[in-house]
């Protein structure tokens, strides 16, 4: 298939546009849909930078203090107190003309001498854990409900969509606070699972919409004629075709999940002491803003970095999956073509 794609593009208006189309076609020649999407994503500079930064944050948070029983390379932990390195517990991290000095406590120490770097890293681990739990659970529920109601329509659809409406009615932070108070109590895993139970609504609506249109397509009829069961049609044939919407929405969901978790922990209904999350750290230290502002800066900075990275990755994925998205070829390529 050199110049005759399966779906004929609208007639190009002028020579430039024809040339652009030709270059575009040549670039995707012989590639599967997945490969095209992956290539587009890799080309998205913002998303790639964000992915790299996020990976770095995850690596830093996990290797430095270790996960669970496994020790990391950082000498302090988040519980023990230490004599202050610099008076006032100021951060020892310094970026100057003579290079970067890390020192004993790069992010500083809190009022009782605990190492803030270890605490922030621990909080980052916890917040990421809650974020992933919310993302996985909400995506699973959302896909299941959306697929069922889009595929079967009728009564199942009415029931599930009214259920979705009902959950949407409750402002997320409100139900989050109540659930957090009921189940959280310092347990990050339970908190993540509880919040996952109320954040699936957007996903189920989107998947339902996709399934409603997909079930009218020929390949579904073909599968049914071939004797495939309903479950097989739904999850083997239709779901891969809705994967774009699902992946994009999962990332966006995770970005809002981390904000939700930190907000709840800030309000005191999420992760609470002695456990640590980034929001809980800010809650703990907000009164210290005037005297020890770094206690407030670092956790906030990490929340923003994580949320921003996930948002950018989501944006890159959306562009990559969007069939209408076209890359404008560079001037050099236009000349060559």
Partner 1 sequence: MLTFLVRRLASAAVVLLASTFVFFMLVDFATDPLEELRESSQINREAQMEQRTRLLNLDTPPVLRYFLWLKGLAGFLWGQGTLGESWRTNREVTDMLAGAVGVTLRLVVVATLLAIITGVTVGIASALRQYTGFDYSITFASFLLYSLPTFWVAVLLKQWGAIGFNDFLRDPTIGLWGLIGISLVAGLVWSALVGGEVRRRLITFAVATAATAAVLWFVSSTGWFLDPSLGPVLIAVTGLAIAFGVTVLSTGLRNRRALYSAVTVVAIGVALWLPLQYVFPYATTWLILGLLTVTLAVAAVVGWAFGGPDRAQSIRTAALTAVGVALLIFADRVMQVWRIYSDYSDNRPIATIGAATPGLNGDFWVETLDQYTHLILPTTSLLLISFASYTRYSRGSLLEVLNQDYIRTARAKGLTERTVVMRHAFRNALIPLATIIPLDIAAILSGAVITERIFGWTGMGNMFITALNGDDPYPVMGFFIVTGTVAVLANLVADLVYAGLDPRIRVNA
Q: Which residues bind partner 1 (CB under 8 A)?
A: 162, 165-175, 177-179, 181-182, 255, 259, 262-263, 266-269, 279, 282, 286, 289-290, 296, 300, 303-304, 307-308, 311-312, 315
What is the smallest separation between the CB atom of 219 and partner 1, expressed in angstroms?
Answer: 29
Nearer to partner 1, 49 or 63 (CB): 49
For the bound state, the minimum distance from the C-beta of residue 306 to partner 1, rounded and expressed in Å, comes to 8
Q: How far is the CB of 178 from partner 1 (least distance, A)?
A: 5
Task: Tell the smallest beta-carbon distance from residue 35 to partner 1 (Å).
Answer: 27
DSSP 132-177: HHHHHHHHHHHHHHHHHHHHH-HHHHHHHHHHHHHHHHS-HHHHHH
Task: Choose between 233 and 254: whose C-beta lies nearer to partner 1.
Answer: 254
149 or 263, CB closer to partner 1? Answer: 263
101 versus 287: smaller Cβ distance to partner 1: 287
Taking the least distance from each CB to partner 1, the nearer of 67 and 304 is 304
Question: Can you say whether the dihedral through the CA atoms of 13, 15, 17, 23 is positive or negative?
Answer: positive
What one-character-per-residue DSSP string does 60-94 give?
Answer: HHHHHH-STTS--S-S--SS-B---SSGGG----E
Contact 264, 249 (CB under 8 A): no
Give whichever of 57 and 167 is closer to partner 1, judged by the CB atom.
Answer: 167
Report the alpha-carbon distance of residue 135 to residue 192 in Å, rounded: 9
Q: What's the closest the beta carbon of residue 98 comes to partner 1, in angstroms?
A: 26
Inter-CA distances, 39 with 185, 245, 272, 314, 329, Å: 44, 18, 43, 15, 15
- Both tokens assigned to 309: 């990275």
> Least Å distance between CB 198 and partner 1?
10
Distance CA 115, CA 300 (A): 16
Closer residue to partner 1 in complex, CB, 65/161: 161
Residue with tokens 């989107």: 206
CB neighbour list of residue 141: distance below 8 Å, 6 or more residues apart: 196, 197, 200, 203, 204
């Amino acid at each position: 298939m050199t110049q005759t794609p399966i779906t004929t593009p609208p007639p190009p208006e002028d020579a430039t546009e024809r040339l652009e189309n030709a270059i575009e076609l040549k670039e995707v020649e012989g590639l599967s849909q997945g490969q095209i999407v992956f290539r587009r994503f890799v080309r998205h500079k913002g998303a790639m930078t964000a992915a790299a930064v996020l990976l770095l944050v995850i690596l830093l948070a996990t290797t430095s203090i270790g996960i669970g029983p496994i020790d990391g390379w950082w000498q302090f932990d988040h519980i023990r107190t230490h004599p202050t390195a610099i008076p006032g517990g100021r951060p020892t991290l310094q970026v100057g003309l003579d290079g970067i000095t890390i020192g004993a406590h790069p992010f500083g120490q809190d009022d009782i001498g605990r190492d803030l770097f270890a605490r922030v890293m621990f909080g980052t681990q916890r917040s990421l854990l809650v974020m992933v739990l919310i993302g996985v659970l909400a995506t699973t529920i959302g896909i299941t409900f959306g697929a069922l109601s889009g595929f079967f329509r009728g009564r199942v659809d009415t029931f599930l969509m009214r259920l979705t409406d009902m959950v949407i009615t409750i402002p997320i932070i409100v139900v989050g606070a109540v659930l957090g108070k009921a189940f959280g109590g310092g347990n990050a895993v339970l908190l993540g699972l509880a919040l996952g139970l109320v954040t699936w609504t957007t996903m189920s609506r989107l998947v339902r919409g996709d399934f409603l249109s997909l079930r009218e397509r020929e390949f579904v009829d073909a599968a049914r004629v071939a004797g495939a069961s309903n479950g097989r049609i739904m999850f083997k044939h239709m779901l891969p075709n809705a994967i774009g919407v699902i992946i994009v929405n999962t990332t966006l969901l995770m970005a809002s999940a981390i904000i939700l978790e930190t907000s709840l922990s800030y309000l005191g209904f999420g992760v609470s002491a002695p456990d640590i999350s980034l929001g809980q750290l800010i809650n703990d230290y907000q009164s210290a803003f005037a005297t020890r502002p770094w206690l407030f800066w670092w956790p906030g900075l990490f929340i923003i970095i994580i949320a921003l990275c996930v948002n950018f990755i989501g944006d890159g994925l959306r562009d990559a999956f969007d069939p209408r998205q076209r890359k404008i070829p560079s001037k050099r390529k236009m000349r060559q073509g």
